[in-house]
Structure 1
Amino acid sequence: MATDMEKSSVDAAHNGNHGGHFIEQDHPPHHGMSPAKYIASRFSSLKPPMTPVPNPITLLRMISGRQWAFFGVAFIAWTWDAFDFFTVSLTVSDLAKTFGRSNTDITWGITLVLMFRSVGSIIFGIAADRYGRKWPFIVNNILFIILELGTGFCSTYSQFLACRALFGIAMGGLYGNAAATALEDLPEETRGLMSGILQQGYAFGYLLATAFARGLVNTTSHGWRPLFWFGAGPPVLIILWRLMLPETQTYQQHESVRRTAQTGGQSVSKTFLLEGKVALRRHWLLLTYLVLLMAGFNFMSHGSQDLYPTMLTNQFNFTANQVTVTQVVANLGAMLGGTVVGFYSQVFGRRFSIIVMSIIGGALLYPYTFVTSEAVIAAAFFEQFCVQGAWGVIPIHLMELSPGAFRTFVVGTSYQLGNLVSSASSTIESTIGERFPLPPKGTTRRYKYGNVICIFMGCVFAYVIILTLIGPEHLRRKFDVAHDADVREVAGEDIIAEAIHRRERMGMGLSDEDLEDAAEVRREREVAREREKATTQHL
């Protein structure tokens, strides 16, 4: 039988306090509000909490070596996800010449990736929440290698579209997994800063793609193809890195709850499905909102970036070197903006930070799209500072709003369904832009892409401001199972408490036999309580 220590631990679980962990629900600030009260609170809740601004160096020192390893592999994988995506955006004209198609036809390769990402996010998101973050992450990167090589060997337009569609499925599964891997184990105080840094893997990937495109595209007889072949290499190192790491502690807590429930006769899969039903029933409106919000954010990033190099070359007559410099400076602004705004969102709040960046970004649209000299480089820096500054809040904002047991699925799927809604951004801008021709340069047709980008982005910024204003926020939410109201409803307080203690005892080196003895104590006490309840009802 279990030792006295184990018995006392089970007693503590039934009293609602387990090994120092008070089992409580962690409801969002708007929990229990009527619709009228919620709407009335949208402006008042924007007031920044104004917590003291921490020293970022102190925050970075709070992160353990294991947490840095998780963050590092997630950041690099997200960076290379962005690199692979932008390989098409940066070679539109070259691909069009190879396949004998227009630039608009080639942008369908971008659109297909964005459309099919939602399929990947559903498949890999559910897999990561059910079976762990590790192996779905590795499978994602294996598919990256295969399909990036495949794109580089395409000989027809149809093959190109097919490869990019499949690539979209592979890429769709990464974002939610990367966010969970990087952020869910971090100390609460560091989340804003690290969210901003993580999201800038996107801008860093764009910067790397820009630099390597300049060095690899049209520098050999293979034209654009070496850029895609090169893109298949780094995922090998990412896979090796992830193989050396275990599961995150937060996922292990959820898995421990499911396995503890299994000792009471409920399978792990059944518990997982029950968690899904509870999440849908309690949060379906929130999930719908997150998709709509992420549609706006994806319109913001793709609308401001995907066709921008084409605008610089086609409308402004920039040389390849000028385009490269502009894109590099813009992405430096993006990385700085995401990091700074992500950090300060811990002080000013998530919604407030997004709205302020959207307002400033809207004000900068005119110089960003109408200044035809090299002075536009400064506008590009500050515009992308704002765009990616707002984006820097998103990873942790989505994590804090998502149901704990389905965090990877919700973060990834809301992001990718938003991508699906916004998937035609570059195609829309390109198609409308071709209705506003400029005098041709030789045999090259020229269009007023800047006008279209400016009007399009103005509408997008307004949309994001409105959606963010009416939406919820759950700043500094706790991620552990002890504070997860959904898991508590499915598993019950006793199982959660025992699962927490089970994890602690495993850390103390206790055997599986000892753990099963403790579970037997719990079952005996449950039977005794049921008998007592039946006796009371009979009397």
Structure 2
Amino acid sequence: MLGNEPADPVAKGTLATAKQAWKDLFRWQMRVEVTNDLGETHCEWQDPAPLKNPISLAAKLSGKDWLCFMVGLLSWMADAFDFHALSIQTFKLANYYNRSKTDISTAITLTLLLRSVGAAFFGLAGDKWGRKWPMVFNMIVLGVLQIATIYSATFQQFLAVRSLFGLFMGGVYGNAIAMALENCPVEARGFMSGVLQQGYSMGYVFAACANLGVGGDTDSWKTVFWIAAGLSIFMGIVRIFLPESKQFIEAKKAGKKGTSAGAFWGETKEMIRKEWRLVVYCIVLMTWFNFYSHTSQDSYTTFMLTEKALDNSGASRASILMKVGACVGGTIIGYLSQWLGRRRAIVLAALFSGLLIPAWILPHGEGGLSASGFFMQFFVQGAWGVIPIHLNELSPPAFRSSFPGITYQVGNMISSPSAQIVNAVAESISVTGDNGKPAPAYGPTMGVATAIIAIGIMVTTAFGPEKRGRRFEEERAAGVVVEGKDLEDQTGSSEGKSQAKHLDDVETEKKVEAKAL
């Protein structure tokens, strides 16, 4: 785009980056790094692309692109169903194991705590060996662990199984969103990111529907877990018969020598050394976001059952409508972020969610709680709808499987006590419930916590980077030998150094010839 106004280079350093990001937030044009065919990079101001019809955006995906997207979406949905099968049945499980609701929420804490370990292992496996087989293994083992939960006879066995569940659950997100989004055309990514993130909300909706269908009997929680196990194992089997990510295969083909384990791990360490500020920033951002979702939803069904005195059916219906709002909001705001900007979309969504807090916790009866829950989650998950593509664009290009998954799950690990904290604080304070009896103060606790978190998200996002429209699909995979430096680093031999020098000389000659032309 020759007519675009030149922009200052992207700032270096924490304070300089924050200052530049804050100023850029209030400028409609986007600061974009542009690299020409000679590898020369400069920054310029670009106008955001006009919003396009979502149907036309979806039509830009080929049949194979849609297949990859649906695999990522449904795997993420099954993963969310597995998790929410526990969180929406805290009341039943507390009765089944004769424990307090705070004790049961310990299982949620352990699951979230250990997801980061699985994200690191399976995310790096996805970058090294592909998106397919790590996901297959993940999904089948998750189903088996759901069945193991059903047969946990004691509370200690229950906690042990849920800890293992967290390890394997952590590996799904990074590979799922890489598989889904790296095959999407650039202009469709904002919209498709919003749709993709709603796999999490869809998992909640289907878990709530299952909970509604099985009734309120204490032992009925097992049926929901059987359904969850079937979904995960089914997705693992389906994934076996589908191809590897197109771009992962093409990235691997870019290397004449294939991949090297030494080069892969060396490149991983080098990425962390160079991008540690970005790694820390994304972990902080995802910590806020995970507090955001878990604080505003994990105890909401319990809130309606206790403080608002709804029965199981009423609370389940309200939970379903709440997450329908999440699906709608995430899709719409994710779509708008392509035009509005990733950071502006997140900041505005978090602001509106904060303003809605009183209307969210004060209503009485199923109708009012359903409506307020719908709009609250419209904006909570609306902000979340931007996250898949925002993380992919911020990621070092060769680490699109591991980087989003690890930063997301480390944030999950740090925020893992969120449900336990809400339950502990709420149960330590009594308010008068809708039935006139003392009840745990879930409403005030969730309201205050969510207000603090929404402010944290707005501040962190406003001072952070953005790389909307980044063409990460053109980059090679991690560890692929494509340059002389790789050969020299991996062999350390005189032959490798000779090959390295030869490749460097050839590349230099090409650039000189291109400039002359």
Query: For 2:188 and 2:377, how far apart are their aligned partners in 1?
Result: 24
Deviation for aligned residue 1:479: 1.6
| Residues 314 and 320 (structure 1), Cα distance of their counterparts in 2 relative to 1, 3 Å cut | same
CA contact (8 A) 1:48 1:352 kept: no
Within the candidate set 9, 17, 22, 1:38 is matched to 17
Query: TM-score when scaled to structure 2?
Result: 0.86
Q: Which amino acid aligns with 1:230?
A: I
Is the 8 Å Cα contact of residues 481 and 487 (structure 1) preserved in structure 2?
no
Deviation at 1:218, TM superposition (A): 4.5
Please, which of 55, 59, 62 is the counterpart of residue 61 of structure 1? 59
Secondary structure of 2:465's aligned partner = coil
CA contact (8 A) 2:115 2:171 kept: yes
Corresponding letter in the other structure for 2:156: S
Secondary structure of 1:438's partner? strand
One-letter code of the match for 1:224? W
Picking from 449, 468, 482, the partner of 1:475 is 468
1:524 deviates by 11
Letter of the structure 2 residue corresponding to residue 364 of structure 1: L
TM superposition shift of 1:227: 1.1
Alignment-derived partner of residue 492 in structure 1: 483
User: Structure 2 unaligned runs (5+)?
Assistant: 1-6, 30-47, 488-497, 510-517
Separation in 2, partners of 1:104, 1:435: 11
1:491 CA drift (Å): 4.2
Match of 1:126 among 124, 127, 140: 124
Contact 1:368–1:380 (CA<8 Å) still a contact in 2? yes
Give the equivalent residue in structure 2 for 1:283: 275
Q: Assess, with a 3 A threshold, how the Cα gap between structure 1 residues 198 and 375 changes in structure 2: closer, same or farther.
A: same
Q: Counterpart amino acid of 1:238?
A: M
CA distance in 2, matches of 1:411, 1:528: 33
- 2:229 alignment partner, one of 210, 227, 232: 232
* Range with greater deviation from structure 2 (329-338 or 315-324): 315-324
Say what the alpha-carbon RMSD is for the aligned residues: 2.8
Q: CA deviation at 1:93?
A: 1.5
Contact 2:284 2:411 survives alignment (8 Å): yes
Deviations 1:156-215 (A, max 9, x none): 100110111000011000000000000011100110000000000001110000000111
> Could you say if the C-alpha distance between residues 70 and 222 of structure 1 is closer, same or farther in structure 2, counting changes exceeding 3 Å?
same
Q: Percentage identity across aligned positions?
A: 35
Task: Note the C-alpha offset of 1:403.
Answer: 1.0
1-structure distance, mates of 2:347, 2:177: 22
**2:82 maps to which residue?**
84
Paired residues of 2:484 and 2:499 also in contact (CA < 8 A): no
Q: After the TM superposition, which residues 135-154 of structure 1 pair with which residues of structure 2 at under 5 Å, given as runs?
A: 135-154=133-152
Partner residue in 1 for 2:203: 205
Structure 2 residue matching 1:116: 3-state secondary structure = helix
Whole-angstrom CA distance in 1 between matches of 2:116 and 2:58: 33
| Equivalent residue, structure 2, for 1:246 | 243
- Separation in 2, partners of 1:176, 1:444: 45
Any conservation in 2 of the 1:217–1:227 contact (CA below 8 Å)?
no
Partner SS state of residue 431, structure 2: strand
What's the CA shift for 1:34?
5.7
Corresponding residue number in structure 1 for 2:415: 422
Alignment-derived partner of residue 317 in structure 1: 309
Aligned to 2:364: 372
Q: What SS does the corresponding residue of 2:268 show, helix, strand or coil?
A: helix
Corresponding residue number in structure 1 for 2:50: 52
* 1:349 aligns to 2:349 (yes or no): no
Partner of 2:45: none
Quote the Cα distance in structure 2 between the aligned partners of 1:203 and 1:399: 20
1:140-539 → structure 2 map (5 Å cutoff): 140-218=138-216, 222-257=219-254, 259-262=255-258, 268-373=260-365, 374-438=367-431, 446-482=439-475, 491-492=482-483, 526=502, 529=505
Q: Alpha-carbon deviation of 1:438?
A: 3.3
Gaps of 5+ in 1: 1-27, 497-521, 534-539
Q: Indicate how the Cα distance of structure 1 residues 304 and 268 shifts in structure 2: closer, same or farther if over 3 A, else same.
A: same
Judge conservation of contact 2:72–2:179 (CA < 8 Å) in 1. yes
Q: 1:254 to 1:54 in 2, by over 3 A?
A: same
Q: Deviations along 1:279-307, whole A, 9 cap, x unmatched?
A: 11221110011000000000000000001
- 3-state secondary structure, aligned to 1:121: helix
The CA deviation at 1:326 is 1.1
CA contact (8 A) 1:118 1:172 kept: yes
- Find the aligned partners of 1:148 and 1:472 in 2 and give their Cα distance: 39
| Structure 1: distance between partners of 2:289 and 2:453 | 8
Q: In 2, are the aligned partners of 1:75 and 1:198 still within 8 Å (CA)? A: yes
Alignment TM-score, normalising by the size of structure 1? 0.82
Higher Cα Rg, which structure = 1
Tell me, what secondary structure is at the counterpart of 1:367?
helix
Task: Tell me: CA distance 1:528–1:166, structure 2 relative to 1, closer, same or farther (3 Å).
Answer: closer
Query: CA distance change for structure 1 residues 62 and 448 in 2, over 3 Å: closer, same or farther?
Result: same
Distance 1:238 1:224, change over 3 A: same
SS in 2 for 1:214: helix
Higher RCO (CA < 8 A, seq sep 6+): 1
Q: What is the rounded CA distance, in whole Å, between the counterparts of 1:34 and 1:114 in structure 2?
A: 31
Deviation at 1:444, TM superposition (A): 8.7
Distance 1:384 1:527 in 2: 54
| Letter of the structure 2 residue corresponding to residue 38 of structure 1 | T
Higher mean C-alpha displacement, 239-248 vs 157-166: 239-248
**In the aligned structure 1, how far is the partner of 2:468 from the partner of 2:144?**
40
Q: Structure 2 CA distance, aligned partners of 1:195 and 1:493? A: 36
**Distance 1:251-1:446 versus aligned 2 partners, 3 A rule:** same
Alignment partner of 1:472: what SS?
A: coil
Task: Assess if the C-alpha contact under 8 Å between 2:17 and 2:465 holds in 1.
Answer: no
